[in-house]
Chain A
Amino acid sequence: MLLLSYSTDFVSCISKYVKIHESSNCIFFDLTQETLKELQIFINDTENDKCQDSVALDSRDDYKSKDAAESETSEDPPNKRAKLETSITDVQSEEEAAAVDKSKDGDSRVCVVCLGILQGLCGTTQAIKIAEAVKAGNYEFDTLVLSVSLPAQLCVREHSCWLYVKKEVREKGLVLDKDDVIQVKEAFKWIMQGMVTKELGGIAVVTKVSPFEVSVEFTHPETDADCHFLAATCPDCFKPTKNKQSVFTRMAVVKALEKIPDAKFLKHYPCPPTQPTSSCSPQVQCLHVSVFVAGRYNKFCRSLPQTPWVIDGERRMESSVEELIAAPILSAFRADGFNFSSSGREDVDVRTLGNGRPFAMELLNPHKSRFSKEQMKQLQETINQSSDKIKVRDLQIVTREAMSRMKEGEEEKTKSYTALVWTQKPIQREDISFIDDIKDLTLDQKTPLRVLHRRALAVRQRAIHSMSTRFLDSHHFYLRLKTQAGTYIKEFVHGDFGRTNPNLCQLLKTDTDILELDVESVDVDWPPPVPE
């Protein structure tokens, strides 16, 4: 174990860097007790030209938890320490006096590396704040994972301190690796995880994966300019962004720091870093992983678009399939929003009959995510009662891969339709019977005029697998078709100014038009049917 405790006069808190085996935190817990003891010893042994303000920045006592029974991690309060200490495998400890100025007005000084995060922002108060934010959200969850987001300038400051430490250590004849240093982020998490668990009454704060994420975002506007010099020294790391976000993202800054040679860095940035006057400001946000719901829908209305039809901020048609399905689901799952996806679409004036069309919805940040089969059935019933324009079946919770199944259905599977056809010249039953014998008719369809404003101009080859007719009167008949996915039925019937060939006008040698269209089936066997 390499224990490196680094602090100079500028660093008004202890940053403990401990390298542990990754697989468990408990080793760390034990170690902190050891470390704590060592630290106590060390403090007492200290030469006393080092300033030692043991007055904590905040007078909270909970920091000083020496309770070995507690498995919480605890950090010592911010102390002024003017030492650099290295110890290897619980044996060696070295002291070094940092030959820097002693702090004068110790207490209120903000740490130059962690910008106050490990000082005043990782104690019980913070844990309580986090717990309150979680409780306020009223989420349903078993575990949570804590994630931390730090301002980009922290990397710069850490780098600066790192160079300082390296220099000091080199003078001692030792070698240190960057891996031996623990990140502020990790230290914060180690401290807070146990505390948050306690404040939430025992809900486990896991370290790796959980569907519920509580993110703490630290910002420090005062020092945001710290990273700006990197733009001049490593310009290729920073891409200009179109939206208003800062170009100094954490990733870009880290990349630049990896590239910049030490000497150049030291030229542009003070080492150790300068003293800030304020601490970071934390912000807590909760996010539950998305939940996916799938089913099949029927559409019985000829004036209902699938997605909301809005032009220039003005709604052109009332409601939509998407909204009618989503409304009850959103409120049941208490989600913030949704993404609706279906296996193809139909026009506003087309009904969807039969088993319906498969759809999947991603529910964003659902506050409630556990539903039993009975509850899903109940939800399905609620949707069906809410409107007579649509109907939903086989409603179920699915996984994320559901969304990609939708595309598969849209592009590969066959569909069948019924069209009501009008003919200009009068017809008799015999005139249309030949259509029933046509199999696998290949069409060349140019992009129809009615969608040409939003699609590229191209020719598509599509197949009509089979057709059957039902005579109605001398100018009308019903045409049933089974076609390849992506076939434009309306254009096959009226020919679209001869841009779809062959078309029904050519086959019947008369002008034809389509009066009504219904989707009879979408031949996708997903999602799996839910037994009644």
Chain B
Amino acid sequence: MGFFYFAFNVTNTFFHFLFLDMKGKPCEDHCILQHSNRICVITLAETHPILQNGRTIKSINYQISNGCSRLENKVSGKSKRGGQFLTDFAPLCRITCTDETEYTIYSCIRGRLLEVKENILETPNLLLEKVKPTILPYTCKCKVHYMSSLTCLHLHTITAYCTFFFFPVKHPYMSS
């Protein structure tokens, strides 16, 4: 698919990139939504175990280690200085389901953390709601966009491992 960069900001154009089997764990697939302005939203892919078998979420913990909590992430100014730096396998949070299974969500891409979704702390099962589709074919006025959205949807059904490397991706943040 390559590295498309579009300046058109007609509607919210998100490209979907799948990162499969994160850290070798089967089916722990993440889906990164990259906006045309290179800001990324890190989400769970539909194939992720958390979204299977009717699981519900007991708790979400943003405390990664003794010294690091994603909740303390603070950015300031137009250039968003101060965000925690993330590498491919940097953990974003740990999710505990009601059936005692635990999963770690990873950043998948390199960049700076902008914000985490805080309302899932109160309502963890918000995470289970499907991320609303942001590419609607008939809102596209631009042909190129339309083609890429088809490609994206097509990509969703492929389980092949995708080796896209975002360089440089600046602003990922957690949402699901």
Mark A residues whose CB is within 8 Å of B.
302-303, 309, 311, 316-317, 347-349, 422, 446, 449-457, 490, 494-495, 497-498, 505, 511, 513-515
Contacts and interface: CB of A to CB of B under 8 A. Distances in A.
B80 A515 contact: no
Contacts of B131: 497
B63 interface: no
B38 interface: yes
Nearest to B133: A511
Nearest to B6: A316
Interface string B35-67: 101110100000000000000000000000000
A455 B78 contact: yes
Contact of B77 (A456, A497, A513): A456
Interface string B73-107: 00111101000000000000000000000000000
Contacts of B157: none
B8 interface: yes
Contacts of A302: 141
A497 B126 CA distance: 11
Given A450-B35, A452-B171, A498-B117, A348 B139 contact: no
B175 interface: yes
B115 A457 contact: yes
Contacts of B8: 316-317, 348
Given A455-B78, A495-B132, A309 B139 contact: no
Interface in B1-60: 7-12, 35, 37-39, 41
A449 B39 contact: yes
Main secondary structure of the interface of A (DSSP, over half): loop
Q: Among the interface residues A449, A456, A490, which one has the most CB atoms of the partner chain B within 10 A?
A: A449
B161 interface: no
Contacts of A515: 136, 138-139
Given A495-B132, A497-B175, A450 B12 contact: yes
A470 B39 CA distance: 35
B10 A348 contact: yes
Interface residues of B, number: 32
A498 to B, nearest CB: 7
B78 A450 contact: no
Given A303-B141, A452-B114, 4 more contacts: A449-B12, A454-B78, A456-B77, A513-B136
A422 B134 CA distance: 12
A252 B35 CA distance: 50
A495 B133 CA distance: 12
A453 to B, nearest CB: 4
Given A455-B78, A513-B139, A505 B132 contact: yes
Contact of A453 (B115, B132, B141, B171): B171
B119 A498 contact: yes
Nearest to B38: A453
Nearest to B130: A511
A212 to B, nearest CB: 40
Q: Which of A316, A446, A452, A515 has the most CB of B within 10 A?
A: A452
A513 B77 CA distance: 30
Contacts of B76: 456
Given A311-B7, A317-B7, A515-B139, A457 B175 contact: no
Contacts of A457: 75, 80, 114-115
A309 B77 contact: no
B89 to A, nearest CB: 24
Contacts of A347: 9
A316 B171 CA distance: 23
A458 to B, nearest CB: 10
Interface string B111-150: 0001101010000001000011110101101000000000
Nearest to A349: B10
B43 to A, nearest CB: 9
Contacts of A453: 37-39, 170-171
Given A349-B10, A457-B80, A449 B35 contact: yes
A303 B133 CA distance: 24
Contacts of B9: 347-349, 450
Contacts of B136: 422, 513, 515
B7 A452 contact: no
Contacts of B35: 449-450
Contacts of A348: 8-10
Contacts of B78: 454-456
Interface string B138-174: 1101000000000000000000000000000011000
B32 to A, nearest CB: 13
Query: What 8 A-B pairs have minimum CB-CB distances, sorted nearest first?
Result: A316-B7, A453-B37, A511-B132, A349-B10, A497-B175, A456-B78, A515-B139, A452-B39
A515 B134 CA distance: 11
A495 B117 CA distance: 14
B81 to A, nearest CB: 10
Contacts of B39: 449, 452-453
A309 B8 CA distance: 10
Which of A309, A453, A456 is most buried by chain B, counting CB atoms within 10 A of its CB? A453
A453 B5 CA distance: 14
B2 to A, nearest CB: 18
B59 to A, nearest CB: 19
Nearest to A347: B9
17 contacts: A302-B141, A303-B141, A348-B9, A450-B12, A451-B37, A452-B37, A455-B78, A456-B76, A457-B114, A494-B134, A497-B117, A497-B131, A498-B175, A511-B133, A513-B11, A513-B132, A515-B139
